[in-house]
Structure 1
Amino acid sequence: MKISSFLPIILGIEGQKPKCSLDSYFDEFGSTESGDGWICKQKGKKIRCKFLCGEGRVKLFNKYFATAKCKKNGEVKINKYEISPPRDEEDKTPFCVENKCDRKSESKMIPGGFLKTKKVVDQSIVYDVKCSDGKRHKQAASCDPSTGVFEDPDSYRNLCLPNDGAFPALSRYRCDFVPGQVQVNGTIHLQETMIDGLRGVHINGTIFSSDPAFVDGDHGFHVHSSSDPSDKCAATGGHFASNPDQIHGPPIAALPDRHAGDLGNILVDAGAATIDIFDQILSLDEESPVFIGDRGIVLHAAPDDGNPDRDPASTGAAGARLACCAITKDDH
């Protein structure tokens, strides 16, 4: 592609003498409705223009910029340009496309690691896999931005696991129950893990009580915003939501059609409940917006109805807080 096709943008309207001033002439310009366009900055007599993509879009080229300088007569002279890859009039591939690659969601599928954007290669986005222990696997993953499909995920999802396949100790948490309205005993364990190729938090353990209020049947079970168990678990606050747009829902729903902390119900039988939950939304990664370390879990007296009417004010009608626990790192 020839830079001359952009000269009218950089040099101004034909017949007008450019003033060669950043304040009056060079600024963000040439933008499309999608937000793609040029941004120019001037330092002294030198001007550098860079083509950027709008929000949520990605460029299918590595470099696209131009430099210019102010001449004594006030004219602007294109000094240098670099385009990679080039594009001519017959090549209709757009500079920028909508980026459907969900890097954050895919990072949740990598135990002990995450994806870091590297560069564009052959119109695919190529990522490094960065592990929590500092190791980096360069250009290990790639995604087609037009479809959002990651190529061969099995080749990189387990790169950050130790040789024994276990998760780092920081990915293991515990929650020791204390009384709310009634005495409930027991500990549940939480661990970031992979099950059937899917990454999530495995919550398992047993809790028990001889109190008559711990009746057989379903009981609401949620991650709450605080780990403070005081005031008979009232201080744990409301259901943990990673975004204010989320409303209460069943655990099978995707965000924002559930609070991040909505785990549905657990089943009590003969005064005990064996908990075995695998949730793909929650995380034990401290960098994640759905990180639940240092929050609390509340056991309710009644079943969670899942909010079938999609009422934004609903919390599932699960009733009183029988007991709760604080999610803390498991150093044992």
Structure 2
Amino acid sequence: MKLFSAFLAGSALGQERLPAVQTACAAFRDEIKANNTIAGDGVWSCPKLNKNSKKTACKATCPGNKIAEFKKASFKVKCGNSENGPSGGVIKQKPADGTLGCHENLCNVNAENQNVAKGSLLLLGKKSKGGKVTERYALKCKNEKKKRKGTIICESDTGAFSSGSLPDYQTTCEASGKTYEKYTCDFNHADQASGVLNGKLFFERVEGKKKDKVVITGTVQSDDAEFDAGDHGIHVHDARYVVAGSPFDWTGGGAGQCKGANGHFSLDGQSHGFATNKLPNRHTGDLGSITATAVRRSGRTATVDIEDTVVSLDPASNLFIGDRTLVIHADGDDGTGTVGNAGSRPGCCAIKPIRYSCTFDGNAGADGDVAITGTIDIRYADGKVAFSGSLAGVPEGKHGFHVHQEGDVTNSCGNVGSHFQVDAENEIHGTPDKPLGQRHAGDIGNLVAAADETATANFMDAIVSLSTQTQPSSAVDRSSSTLNE
């Protein structure tokens, strides 16, 4: 047993004490390494020498997530023998003009995944060129078996994630759980528009088999020479209109009509192009052109019917166009330059959600014994009209909740008329689940008040609309209300 132990010790000692030839070889190798350090914590990886080693080859590597500014770098050392010392040691490198250094890869997918709602990015592969790495990722939504089609790219030198095929990847996975409002752009609205155009456009999200789209419809008219028969560029511009009544200089400090709308709405790396181009070969706001035709005695009219899969009505999206400015130009967009040679700006308007509010101010109703306070918000939610809000001072129990025919709330609600009806001869009073004809258009349902005389409104109705020019009033029975856009 003692002999065996001594043999092991001797073997270990033999590995530590290399013959003179290999010792000289290791010293020569280490001298080359010392004279050719790799910036950025790079290292030379060399195999261990043993007593029979005749040569060694060392390769340059970068630690962790760092990127080599060279593609390959290595040197070989021939150990020789007791008469001829070690030789070789020339650094061979690709590219030949590359620096022997490492730099940080700024792509941090873990940090980016914190920005992806209900999903994550999965690495597809990496491509290295010129000291820069391009990382390719796929989007995987939670509770979905397959990865989404499209690729997200990250460049190692900037660390920026972007995607032409999935520009909305951060919010794509949660889109199914959102409710989407309709928006409007009203050239007739004195506080939210400027220029010589009249008309109103509507913006609505429509689900598609592969990708959702925003549908823009409506008409625009003018008898001004600036809006002649022919093509006119139409774009979403960068300027945001915040709230009605806030100061907004549509002239851009006197620079000209609608100059305050600034340039086309775009994200970093995008260039101007046709609406049919894929990102980044168009600005987000590049919607193309509309065509105006001459109409006798009323100037020119353009019918707008645009479907676009780039812009978004999701407020969480970086492609969201709500509150930005829609501009119609004097000339057609030819897809060139930075603006498409579309010319001056005869009209612009703010893209605003179609929302109303019905405020109960505490005035007593017709019976003089009920004073309701609170506000009901009325807006679109996925094509339906949503009524939501809280009221106080509502007697305990059920109360009919209806849209009435007239908007005159004077005389303690005595002038609001009957329930709103589209076709009075063919509509009867009914429950909100019935089709039009078996209910009045204004039959929304019942509001239920608790013992503390508070009530929460939460109605969704597919019959009434907020998209007409004239709106009826909304009233809770035995209450006074006003409806304001």
Shorter chain as normaliser: what TM range? 0.5 to 0.7
- Percent identity over the alignment is 33
In 2, are the aligned partners of 1:126 and 1:140 still within 8 Å (CA)?
Answer: no
Aligned to 1:219: 232
Match of 1:117 among 103, 120, 133: 120
Matched, 1:296 2:303: no
Asked whether the 8 Å contact 2:120–2:140 carries over to 1, the reply is yes
CA distance in 1, matches of 2:343, 2:151: 46
Instruction: Give me the whole-angstrom Cα distance separating, in 2, the residues matched to 1:34 and 1:140.
Output: 36
Q: Classify 1:303/1:198 alpha carbon distance in 2 versus 1 (closer, same or farther; 3 Å).
A: same
CA deviation string 1:196-245 (max 9, x = no partner): 532121111111122233211100111001145622311111111122x2
| Contact 1:229–1:235 (CA under 8 A) maintained in structure 2 | yes
Conserved 8 A contact 2:203-2:216: yes
Distance (Å, rounded) in 1 between the aligned partners of 2:152 and 2:264: 34
**Residue 269 of structure 1 aligns to a residue in which SS?**
strand
2:51 corresponds to which residue? none
Contact kept, 8 Å, 1:248 with 1:259, in 2: the verdict is: yes
2:250 corresponds in structure 1 to: 230
Which residue does 1:325 correspond to in 2? Answer: 349
Structure 1 residue aligned with 2:205: 192
Pick closer, same or farther for the CA change 1:168–1:236 going to 2, 3 Å: same
Q: Give the Cα separation in 1 of the matches to 2:149 and 2:328.
A: 43
Describe the shift of the 1:324–1:139 C-alpha distance in structure 2 as closer, same or farther (beyond 3 A). Answer: same
Q: Distance in 2 between matches of 1:222 and 1:265?
A: 8
Which of 126, 141, 147 is equivalent to 1:142? Answer: 147
Residue 257 (str. 1) matches residue 297 (str. 2): no
Measured at CA, do residues 180 and 55 of structure 1 come closer, stay the same or move farther in structure 2, by a change above 3 Å?
same
Contact 1:250 1:262 in 2 (8 A): yes
Q: Contact 1:220–1:318 (CA<8 Å) still a contact in 2?
A: yes
Q: 2:308 aligns with which of 276, 279, 285?
A: 279
Tell me by how many angstroms 1:252 deviates.
Answer: 1.2
> C-alpha offsets along residues 111-155 of structure 1, whole Å, 9 cap, x if unaligned?
xxx6512989xxx978445xxxxxxxx34543599999xxxxxxx
Q: Is the 8 A contact 2:187 2:194 kept in 1?
A: no
Deviation per CA, 1:37-84: give whole Å up to 9, x if none: xxxxxxxxxxxxxxxxx666979xxxxxxxxxxxxxxxxxxxxxxxxx
Residue 161 of structure 1: CA displacement?
Answer: 5.3
Q: How does 1:26-45 map to 2 (within 5 A)?
A: 29-31=63-65, 33=67
**Which residue of the partner structure matches residue 78 of structure 1?**
none
Which residue is equivalent to 1:168? 179
CA contact (8 A) 1:126 1:139 kept: no
Instruction: Write the distance in 2 (CA, Å) between the matches of 1:128 and 1:278.
Output: 26
Change (3 A) 1:294 1:119: same
Aligned position for 2:91: none
| Structure 1 residue 14 displacement after superposition | 11
Alignment-mate amino acid for residue 305 of structure 1: D
Deviation at residue 282 of structure 1 after TM alignment: 0.9
How far did 1:177 drift? 1.3
Q: Could you tell me which of 208, 219, 224 is aligned with 2:221? A: 208
Give the conservation status (yes or no) of the 8 Å contact 2:186–2:199: yes
Distance 2:333 2:151 in 1: 39
CA contact (8 A) 1:229 1:326 kept: no
Structure 2 letter corresponding to 1:177: F
Give the conservation status (yes or no) of the 8 Å contact 1:125–1:145: yes
Following superposition, the deviation at residue 195 of structure 1 comes to 3.5
Query: CA offsets per residue over residues 249-287 of structure 1, 9 Å max, x none?
Result: 111112222111111100111211111111111111122
User: Contact (CA 8 Å) 2:272, 2:283: kept in 1 or not?
Assistant: yes
Residue 51 of structure 1: aligned partner: none
Aligned partners of 2:266 and 2:284 also within 8 Å: yes
CA distance, structure 1, for counterparts of residue 349 and residue 233 of structure 2? 14
State the alpha-carbon separation in 1 of the partners of residues 342 and 235 from structure 2. 10
In 1, the alpha carbon distance for the partners of 2:342 and 2:140 equals 43
Name the Cα RMSD after superposition: 4.2
Cα 1:286/1:141, change in 2 over 3 Å: farther
* Runs of 5+ consecutive residues of structure 2 not aligned to the other structure: 1-44, 49-61, 70-104, 124-136, 154-171, 242-247, 252-256, 295-299, 356-465, 467-485
Q: Is the 8 A contact 1:229 1:325 kept in 2?
A: no
SS of 2:281's partner is: coil
Q: Which has the larger radius of gyration?
A: 2
CA–CA separation in structure 1 for the residues paired with 2:307 and 2:184: 15
1:115–1:252 distance in 2 versus 1, CA, 3 Å:
farther
Relative to its length, the structure with more helix (as a share) is 2
Q: Structure 2: which amino acid aligns with 1:302?
A: D
C-alpha separation between the residues in 2 aligned to 1:33 and 1:145?
26
Q: CA deviation at 1:327?
A: 0.7
Q: Per-residue deviation at 1:33?
A: 3.1
AA matched with 1:202: V
Deviation of 1:292 after TM superposition, in Å, equals: 0.8
Report how many residues are paired. 212
- TM-score, structure 2 as length reference: 0.37
SS in 1 for 2:212: strand
Deviation of 1:323 (Å): 0.5
| TM-score, scaled to structure 1 | 0.52
- Return 5+ residue gaps in structure 1 as ranges: 1-11, 16-27, 36-53, 60-101, 108-113, 130-137, 149-156
Check 1:274–1:141 CA distance in 2 against 1; reply closer, same or farther (3 A cut): same
Provide the rounded CA distance (Å) in 1 between the counterparts of 2:120 and 2:259.
42
Provide the C-alpha distance between the structure 2 equivalents of 1:202 and 1:322, rounded to a whole number of angstroms.
23
